[in-house]
């Protein structure tokens, strides 16, 4: 697992103890997160959109349709800032000031490269489907050549990636520990619920195990 040395821009300044640049920290966050937010500049102004991503080795792929104004704007080598954030818990301190959240976040900077080579595009499309639901690409009809053409996929190198995270209990001012206030962490989890059949589902079809027993992180 390679280590990405922090550049001036990716270095975590606000809480240096919360920053991490090693791929052993970064990759599991990207792999667990179901979607990301992509920031870019258009006419000098900031724009941010949510979209689906997948990490394949040292590359982050993000997905869109050709109709998307966003991906049309950023596909020509434009600089992007991609962030994904997993909320792990509410940090409930004894003072309002010390309230916080436990989270794991990754920021990736870089020029976006449009994926045009058919082989890479197919691989990324397959990886995107399997990122959402592991094993799904083996169960569904894969894209036709025309569908592949209608899909825009952008690639960003993980070279300039960094992770930010906070874990653990609240940190209160020493004087506040005597206050009669409950303090601790309320963990939060993204939990799959019962699958809902498509109303047009043909009789006799049941959710496969990768849906019925969905786990965000396959072992």
Contact between 49 and a second copy by CB under 8 A: the answer reads yes
Contacts of 31 (CB under 8 A, 6+ apart): 55, 131, 217
Closest approach, Cβ 190 to a second copy, in A, equals: 6
Q: Which two tokens stand for residue 54?
A: 């997948």
| 157 binds a second copy, rule: CB under 8 A | no
**Beta carbons of 195 and 207 less than 8 angstroms apart:** yes
Interface with a second copy, residue 50, by CB under 8 A: yes
Does 125 sit near a second copy (CB under 8 A)? yes
Whole-angstrom CA distances from 91 to 20, 62, 188 are: 21, 31, 11
Q: Is 107 exposed, middle or buried (0-12, 13-18, 19+ CB in 10 A)?
A: buried
Residue 6 touching a second copy (CB under 8 A): no
Within positions 84 to 113, which residues make up the interface with a second copy, using CB under 8 A?
A: 85, 87, 89-90, 92-97, 99, 101, 103, 105, 107, 109
- Find the binding residues for a second copy in span 53-72 (CB under 8 A): 65, 67-70
- What is the smallest separation between the CB atom of 26 and a second copy, expressed in angstroms? 15
Question: 10 Å Cβ neighbour count for 35?
Answer: 14
Q: Is 208 near a second copy (CB under 8 A)? A: yes
Q: Does 217 bind a second copy (CB under 8 A)?
A: no
């Amino acid at each position: 697992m390679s280590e990405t040395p922090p550049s001036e821009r990716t270095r975590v300044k606000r809480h240096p103890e919360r920053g991490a640049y090693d791929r052993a920290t970064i990759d599991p966050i990207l792999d667990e997160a179901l979607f990301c937010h992509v920031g870019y500049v258009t006419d000098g102004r900031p724009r941010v959109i949510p979209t689906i991503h997948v990490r394949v080795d040292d590359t982050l792929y993000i997905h869109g349709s050709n109709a998307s104004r966003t991906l049309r704007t950023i596909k020509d080598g434009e600089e992007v800032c991609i962030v994904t954030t997993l909320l792990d818990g509410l940090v409930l301190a004894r003072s309002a000031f010390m309230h916080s959240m436990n989270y794991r976040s990754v920021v990736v900077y870089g020029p976006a490269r449009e994926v045009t080579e058919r082989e890479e595009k197919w691989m990324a499309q397959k990886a995107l489907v399997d990122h959402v639901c592991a094993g799904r690409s083996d169960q569904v009809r894969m894209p036709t050549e025309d569908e592949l053409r209608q899909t825009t996929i952008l690639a960003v190198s993980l070279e300039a990636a960094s992770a930010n995270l906070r874990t653990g209990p609240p940190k209160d001012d020493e004087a506040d520990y005597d206050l009669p206030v409950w303090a601790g962490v309320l963990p939060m989890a993204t939990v799959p619920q019962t699958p809902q059949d498509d109303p047009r589902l043909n009789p006799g079809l049941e959710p496969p195990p990768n849906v019925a027993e969905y786990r965000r992180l396959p072992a």
